[in-house]
Structure 1
Amino acid sequence: VEDIMIPRNEVKGLDLEDSIDDLLSNILSSEYTRQPLYEGDINNIVGIFHARKANHLLRSETVTTNAIKRFAEEAYFIPESTTLTTQLLNFKKTRKRFAVVVDEYGEVQGLVTLEDILEEIVGDFTTNTADDIEEVIARDDGSYVIDGAATIREINKATGWELPTDGPKTLNGLALEQLQSIPDGNVSFTVAGYRFETEEINGTMIKKLAVISLRPKKVPEE
C-alpha cells in the first residue's frame, strides 16, 4: 500500500490543538469525506472525522474538542508493507474504506482508501490521461509540465511512460535523489531515457519540472 498511499506530507487533517473556529472552518471547507483527527502531531491520531457528522456536531449545544472527538470514528491502522490484494480483503472484512498507514515504528506514513486500491487493481473508472490530471500538463512539443508532488505511478498512467517505480514515490523525490541537493537555479538531468528540467523551486521542494521522453516511440505491431 505504500506505493499508492497519500504520503504523510500531503495528509490534510484536524489538529485538536487548533482553535474551535479553525477546526470548524476546516471541517466545513474540506474537500475530503474523511479526515484524521490528531493532537498536535499527525502521529497522535485519535480518530477519523467523517463529513456526514458535521451536521450532528453543529446541532450540539456547544462545539468543543471533546464533542468533535465524540463524533469521530476509531482510526484503522495498517502496516505499510501490506499488499494491495490483502488490504482489499481486509477492507471487506472490517467494512472500512479508509486506513492510516504506519511503518514498523508506528510512525504515520500516509493514508489509503478502498477507492485507491480499486483504481490500482482494476484501473481507473474512467480513462486517465494527462488532460484529466491537473498535475500533468501536456505541451505542443511533446513535453509535459509536471507538479513535483505528482506520484510516479500517476505520471506513468497519464503519459504511458515507464518512469522507475522502485524508488521515490513522487517526482520531487526522484529529482532530489538524482541531484543529491536542492539546486540554486534551474538544472536538467536524465533518468531512464527521460529528460527533466526544473522550472520552479520553492524552499526545500522542486515545485515544477518539464519532462520529455527521449525514448524511441513504439511502433504498433500489425
Structure 2
Amino acid sequence: MHIQLQQIVPVPLKDKFSKRGSDVWNNNLQFAPGEWIKIKAPSGTGKTTLVHILYKLRSDYEGTILWNNTPLQQITGDALAAMRQQQVSIVFQDLRLFPNLTARENIELNRVLQEPYCESSTIDAMAEVLGITHILHQKAALCSYGEQQRIAIIRAMVQPFSWLLMDEPFSHLDQQNITKAAALIAAECTKRNAGIILTDLEDDTFFKYHKTLYL
C-alpha cells in the first residue's frame, strides 16, 4: 500500500512550521510498500501529531494524504475500521492500553478483532522473547511503563498490517530490551514485507532504514 503526503501541515502549528525547513511538513512525499522510514525531530515539532494524522485520529491539517491513491479524508466508517484492522498497525507513544484488562487481554483484543491473524500461542512466544511472560496475567495498570511498552509492541504484531506506525516505541526500554524488541519487529515486518514509519528524538540503529527524514 502506497502512502503519499502532499503539502501536509497541521493547522494549529502552521505558523511555526512555515518559518523553518522540514523534510515532511509542506513537502510532497511518497512512501512505497515495504519501506522503513525514520522521522527524527526534537520534542514539540509534531511527531505525535504526524502519527495521529496518518492513523486518522486528527484531521486538523492542510494538504492531502493518500492511501493507495484514496484521500484519507474519504476513508470513513467500515472502510477506516478495515484499514486499521488489516493494513495499518500502531504503537502509540501513550500506549493506550486498557488499565483494567490484563496484559494478555489487551493483546488478545487486537488478535481477535477479525479472523485471527495468528494463534494465541504466538503471544506467549513473543512475550518470552521480550521477557514479559511473568506479567501476562497482570492488569496493565500494575505493569511498569517499560513492560507496558512491550505489551503494546506485541499487541501491534498480532494483527495483519502492511504498515507499522511507531511513535517513540522504545522510550522506556534499556538497550538490551530495545535490541530484543527491534529484532522482533524487524523479523515480523520482513516476513510480511511491511513498511515502518518510526518517529523518535535521536538517531538510532534500531532498523536498516531506507529513508531518514527530519521533521
Pair in the same fold by TM > 0.5 = no
Q: Which structure has the higher relative contact order (CA within 8 Å, separation 6+)?
A: 2
TM-score by structure 2 length? 0.24
Would you tell me which structure has more helix in proportion to its own residues? Answer: 2
